[in-house]
Structure 1
């Protein structure tokens, strides 16, 4: 039975499965949950698990950069608007 599970995890994923994977991953909130399930679940093929982990890493990087961008420029905008109003 172990051989079958190992072979199934190593089997290539079809194009149709990748289309569904990318579609589900693009859904708000559900996609993030599914990325965690695919990335850290035990029954997921290795290639899909690696894709999910990489997508989560990129999601984290984008979220951090977005926060920094909006924090810097939001503060600058807020301080600039305050200067115009005499604050």
Structure 2
């Protein structure tokens, strides 16, 4: 997941990555493939931890999650594409 994910955004638990003990605890509290709401992210020097609204009083290694995109990312718009193609579609 992006460590700069904002409060209120959704992330999906992957059920993999991170240290074995951290992953075991996460699997006891979360559902693999489940979507959760970010409360906050603590960014550290070597790893970052995410706090989830649905699981208060716990933190999880951010590498165990992926962001859930609520809207598609625009790579380039139509006008930029036409300009790039030399004015031809």
TM-score by length of 2: 0.29
- The structure with the largest strand share of the pair is 2
TM-score by length of 1: 0.29
Considering Cα pairs closer than 8 Å and 6+ residues apart, tell me whether 1 or 2 has the greater RCO. 2
- The structure with the largest helix share of the pair is 1
Larger radius of gyration: 1
